[in-house]
Structure 1
Amino acid sequence: MKHLMSMAIATLPLIGFSAAPVSASEIFEKIKIEAGQTLYDRSCRRCHAVDSTDSSYGPPLENILYRAAGIYEGYDYSIAMEASGIVWTPGAIRAWMEDNDGFMPGTKMRHVGIEDPTVQDFILAYLGSISPQDNKQISE
């Protein structure tokens, strides 16, 4: 946690301040997204690109929020993923990050679980920043 706070504080100069007033919640959200991108790059990027222009082992995660599981065209999903019927809500992604094998037995993906809820929050903030708002057709 101490490392996350240091990372968040180090991000402050990168945010940039404009003449318009910026609320503390807007600043915090920008910090969460920046920290989330760093954590994503460390934990998820080795297998998942952000978009389809960059090759990766797993499917790209751009527009992942509120997308149905197992539908990214051109990726060979496990039978478990294709048949799951889940939608990638923040809660589903959080459960997946923590224990994907427990969340969906039979999945092809293998990784070390991300159990820290703060790290999950930051990664979710980043994933939200790369998912358009019109994806949100259902609530969590």
Structure 2
Amino acid sequence: MVCGGFACSKNCLCALNLLYTLVSLLLIGIAAWGIGFGLISSLRVVGVVIAVGIFLFLIALVGLIGAVKHHQSCFKSSRSCVPCAPIIGEYAGEVLRFVGGIGLFFSFTEILGVWLTYRYRNQKDPRANPSAFL
């Protein structure tokens, strides 16, 4: 068995998700313990910590199930079994091009904003005293 192979990756993912599950249970338990003994007076803080713990627990549980079951599978077409990776790659490529275009648009508008800010900074206010020094 090679380290970094399938079994090693699967076991590492399972261990990591178990660790996250324990951390989430620890978050929930400490928040409940702190409010139970009156160490924490803010119910809002405890509510947020418990909500984060529950969210982390659910994500870790789904990750653990996915790591244990390891469903890869294939897309059943009329003739044969087509792997999902090329189909997902095609859609991911389209989405990445779209997101990249949006990112470039906002990058150029940020550069325009920096240029306008620099230009505005060095302009004199027409309402100000004309003899004032900038």
Query: TM range, normalised to the smaller chain?
Result: under 0.3
Structure richer in strand, relative to its length: 2
* TM-score, normalization by structure 2: 0.26
Larger radius of gyration, structure 1 or 2? 2
* TM-score, normalization by structure 1: 0.25
